[in-house]
Amino acid sequence: MRLVLVLVMALAWACSGGGPAQDAGAGEVTEVAGGDTRDWVTPGPDWQRRTVFYQVWVRSFQDSNGDGIGDLPGLISRLDYLEALGIGALWLSPIHPTPYADSGYDVADYRAVNPDYGTLEDFQRLVEEAHARGIRVFADLVMNHTSDQHAWFQESRSSKDNPRADWYLWADQPNLPCTPGLQFGDSAWKWDEGRGQYYFHQFYEGQPDLNYRNPEVAAAMLDVARFWLGKGVDGFRVDAIYTLFEDLPGTPEDQFICGHHPLTHAYLKTLRQVLEEYPQRASLAEVWGPTGTTAAYFGDGQDEFHLALSMDQELAIQGALMLDAPSLLAPKLTDTLGRLPEGTQYATFLSSHDWPRVMHQTGNDPARARLAAVLLLTLPGTPIVYYGDEVGATNTTAQVVDKRDGSRAPMPWTAAPDLGFTTGTPWLAPAPGNETACVAAQDQDPDSLLALYRRLIALRNRLDFLGSAPIRVLRPATSTDKLLLFVREAQGRTLLVALSFAKQALPLTLDLSALVSVAATLELTSEAEVPALTPQNAAAYQVTLGPHGYAVWSL
Ligand code: NOJ
């Protein structure tokens, strides 16, 4: 019956001259609304709430042609590894032509692939091959700004009366009191000789902000989204959406708003409508701000983003790991989740291309890195594993663009000096430690960090309520501030997680009688031995967790 429906719809789309639904890129219909023809890791609607994402810094993942730069054919050659890891979706760093002033977040052409990374055909093959393995693909959509090399900006800067004169934010005086974030410079205004005016940039000066009050700009970016959806991408991580609108010069001073402008939400709703034109697409917001502010980008739960990166929670995780202080994280967990519209959730992560690697955060402590992995994959939200964290890669001290390059080093595949990443010279000097922190060294070792990640991701895929189910932090009758104990519960299924943030062994006596009515199944532990947890001993359950040890049971 489903096959008939697929064929009928495919025929209807073909006859209609093609709408968004004939978007399989290579001309093949891969999905229909309400149905799912592939063997996805996480099938069905709302898949983004049940899947594990993996973030790939394309330039650093796998080089295929010896130029020292990771590329799409290289990434394709590693899809079997990613399939074995168990992830259900990839998020790729920007893949477009770029002068690389902000590591690719300065896009010079939205509809092309950076020749360093390959071709549009390579991209389509990547999508097809990932899909064939049940893995979905997210692209990074950089909406707020372009590169100053983009044709739109070149035209806009050429005169005050060209057709794109108003596509960017130009002023005679640098009079909008916004300042760029951290590493992006002192002033948000740059003088342009050609135009004889200043242009506004929230980020590096090579990244002029687009003027979203101009309907042509707003429409052009939606067309960019359609272009990639038409190539089969399953959604977008949308860059810096809190900066899309600013108040223009001339607005009364008390109206100056540099970020989180109310107009942004109306525009983001139009982006959501574009996504809704295609079946089972999703979106992930990159938004910086306190939890309450971030939550606004879910709209009513149906009309803005599906997911949003939780910066607050990441900071709390980092703090807890660095200071061995779970009390920094525990209140944040329940606080964060209480505020979300039904059907939405945060994306949880430990590190990224903007943050130091987990290993770096934990002072190169393997036990803490393992604890962090368990935390990431048992917390609520959609987990994002940052490439290389699964083998304990650490930061490099090398830098090409800025200090964030620390976490963007080539993927350590092997213990060789070239890391199995390239036959040439890597574009960025590798991080140390790949003799042991590499895939080859850990692949067959059941005690390795990589094996732990595989087990955790498998657990996550099996217990697919873990993304959306609430969290309940338990306050056990035991006198330690080093234990984080929580349960995740949904539809009669429960996961119980005990994490020690102590540097020494932590003996515990826990009253779990309210939870345990049948013998618990031990899913994972760092310990050689953990006593069975049964209704008989649950009222005064005794267990000792080693330094930064953990135990996870299902009930
Ligand atoms: C957020 C990206 O994650 C970051 O790397 C980039 O510098 C800014 N947005 C500007 O695009």
The predicted-structure confidence for 89-123, as pLDDT tens digits, reads as follows 999 999 999 999 999 999 999 999 999 999 999 99
Other beta carbons less than 10 A from residue 271's beta carbon: 22
CA of 79 to the centre of ligand 1 (A): 26
The residues pairing with 522 across neighbouring beta strands, listed in sequence order, are: 553
Torsional sign, CA 283, 287, 292, 296: negative
Contact 277, 20 (CB under 8 A): yes
* Closest ligand 1 atom, residue 286 Cα: 1
For CATH 3.90.400.10, list the domain ranges present in the chain: 151-200
| Ligand 1 pocket mutation pick from 147, 203, 238, 287 by most atoms within 8 angstroms of CB | 203
3-state secondary structure of 53: strand
> What is d(CA 373, CA 254) in angstroms, rounded to the nearest whole number?
45
pLDDT at 537: 98
C-alpha 126: how far from chain center: 19
Q: Is 528 exposed, middle or buried (0-12, 13-18, 19+ CB in 10 A)?
A: exposed
CA of 353 to the centre of ligand 1 (A): 9
* Closest ligand 1 atom, residue 184 Cα: 7
| Element of type H or E holding 100 | none
CA of 239 to the centre of ligand 1 (A): 6
Contact 361, 64 (CB under 8 A): no
Closest among 531, 474, 528 to 497, alpha carbons compared: 474
Contact 507, 544 (CB under 8 A): yes
Q: Which residue has the tokens 């895929």?
A: 461
Residues with Cβ < 8 Å from 416, sequence gap 6 or more? none
Q: Which residue has the tokens 């991580």?
A: 237
> What is d(CA 440, CA 419) in angstroms, rounded to the nearest whole number?
10
The CA–CA distances, whole Å, from 153 to 77, 94, 196, 212, 322 equal 36, 19, 14, 14, 43
Residues in the chain with pLDDT values less than 50: 1-35
* Closest ligand 1 atom, residue 353 Cα: 5
Establish whether residue 354 lines the binding site of ligand 1, counting it when its CB lies within 6 angstroms of any ligand atom.
yes
pLDDT at 186: 80
> Is the domain defined by 470-554 classed in CATH 3.60.70.12?
no
3-state secondary structure of 507: strand
Contact 228, 92 (CB under 8 A): no
Establish whether residue 105 lines the binding site of ligand 1, counting it when its CB lies within 6 angstroms of any ligand atom.
yes
Q: In angstroms, what is the C-alpha Rg of the chain?
A: 24
Establish whether residue 142 lines the binding site of ligand 1, counting it when its CB lies within 6 angstroms of any ligand atom.
yes
Beta strands 170-171; 197-200: pairing state: antiparallel
Establish whether residue 240 lines the binding site of ligand 1, counting it when its CB lies within 6 angstroms of any ligand atom.
yes
> What is d(CA 77, CA 72) in angstroms, rounded to the nearest whole number?
9
**pLDDT tens digit string along 454-465?**
999 999 999 999
Establish whether residue 314 lines the binding site of ligand 1, counting it when its CB lies within 6 angstroms of any ligand atom.
no
Beta strands 197-200; 189-192: pairing state: antiparallel
The CA–CA distances, whole Å, from 142 to 96, 112, 317, 385, 481 equal 10, 14, 27, 21, 42
Please tell me the residue having the least CA distance from ligand 1 atom 6. 105
pLDDT at 148: 98
Please tell me the residue having the least CA distance from ligand 1 atom 3. 354
pLDDT at 256: 65
3-state secondary structure of 407: helix
> Residue 169: what are its φ and ψ, rounded to 5°?
-100, 105
Establish whether residue 311 lines the binding site of ligand 1, counting it when its CB lies within 6 angstroms of any ligand atom.
no
CATH class of the domain at 151-200: alpha beta
CA of 94 to the centre of ligand 1 (A): 10
CATH class of the domain at 2-17+45-144+215-466: alpha beta
* Closest ligand 1 atom, residue 203 Cα: 10
pLDDT at 163: 98
For CATH 2.60.40.1180, list the domain ranges present in the chain: 470-554
**What amino acid positions are annotated as catalytic residues?**
239, 286
Please tell me the residue having the least CA distance from ligand 1 atom 5. 354
Q: Show the tokens assigned to 372.
A: 């962090």
Establish whether residue 286 lines the binding site of ligand 1, counting it when its CB lies within 6 angstroms of any ligand atom.
yes
